Amino acid sequence: MKRTFQTRFKNKIKLLWSLIKSPQTLLLLMTGLAGFMSSRCPWFNFPILLGVAGSLFLAISGSTVLNMWYDRDIDSLMKRTCWRPLPSGKISPNETLVFGITLSVLGVGWALAIDLLFGFIVFAGLFFDVVVYTIWLKRRTAWSVVWGGLAGAMPVLAGRALGTGRIEWVGILLALAVLSWIPTHILTFSIRNQEDYKRAGVPTFPSTYSVPTTLRVISASTVIAAIAMIMAAVGIDITAGQMRLLAVLSSGLIFLAAASMLRPSDKVNFGLFKYASLYMLSAMLLLAAVVF
């Protein structure tokens, strides 16, 4: 009996964990921590660091779970998502909704308790992600990706605002870098999975404006993301060595985006998709390293 309970408990935890899309959540969490640490605030104060990490993790996870709950019908129509816990019937919609609301309330509440400005920005990110992007625009327009990008830009802006006590130009540049990076990430993914999105009736840039136009948008947003990241790094005053490394990483991102536009192929597109995530993680680690 005890082993049966433990097995069920472990399986339930695995199902709930899969709902938060841990790679995506942890990457956005890293941007928030990098924004906070880039301000050279006393990040080594464990309660503050725990509060930033904990509140952002809960809020980001909560918004992701709520998105999964709302999109369960279209997820069931796509090959790459039909296996997820909700469309496959492994977990109930009501249980998922309660889980998502609980995480969201705890995350935003914790953020507000830390600092009102920090909490407001965290709430704005959740609102843009769940209400504006997923519920209102995702099934109506390909431009929903822009509003999804705004949601993704909120963690780094929130972290920076908490560290500096205000919204300033470096925080805005960091948010712009993430906002511009997200189309590179999402649009390459939408090209790769065009048929899935068509089957589910979700408008995307490739289906609305053609693949060549989408590739031009990816290239433009990639250049903007790289420039915004470098300008923010100048404002943070990272070391010369860190700046050289960031320049190399940014050059690689721009090169892949150009290659994807000039010589499009599934291999290059997938390479850009993977490298974009690696670029954002590496860039944020570099910015966070200024405290050492």
The tens place of each residue's pLDDT in the chain, 292 residues long, gives 556 767 777 888 888 999 999 999 999 999 999 999 998 765 567 788 899 999 999 999 999 999 999 999 999 999 989 999 999 999 999 999 999 999 999 999 999 999 999 999 999 999 999 999 999 999 999 999 888 889 999 999 999 999 999 999 999 999 999 999 988 888 988 998 888 999 999 999 999 999 999 998 998 999 999 999 999 999 999 999 999 999 999 999 999 988 988 888 888 888 888 899 999 999 999 998 886 6
Distance in angstroms between the alpha carbons of the first and the last residue of the chain: 51
Q: For tokens 């019908």, what's the residue?
A: 73
Instruction: Collapse the DSSP code of 27 into the 3-class scheme (helix H, G, I; strand E, B; otherwise coil) and give the result.
Output: helix
CATH number where 66 lies: 1.10.600
Q: Tell whether 3 is covered by a domain.
A: no
Range of the domain at 162: 15-291
Domain annotation covers residue 153: yes
Cα(288)–Cα(282) distance, integer angstroms:
10
9 belongs to a structural domain: no
Q: Is 181 among the domain residues?
A: yes
pLDDT recorded at residue 206: 93
Helix, strand or coil for residue 41?
coil
Count up the domains in the chain and report the number: 1
Question: Quick one: pLDDT at residue 45?
Answer: 73
Amino acid at 18: S
Compute CA 111 distance to the chain's CA centroid, rounded to the nearest angstrom: 18
Q: Flag whether 164 is in a domain.
A: yes
How many C-beta atoms lie closer than 10 Å to residue 120's C-beta? 16
Running DSSP on this structure, what letter comes out for residue 137?
I
For residue 47, is it within any domain? yes
In a domain, 229, yes or no: yes
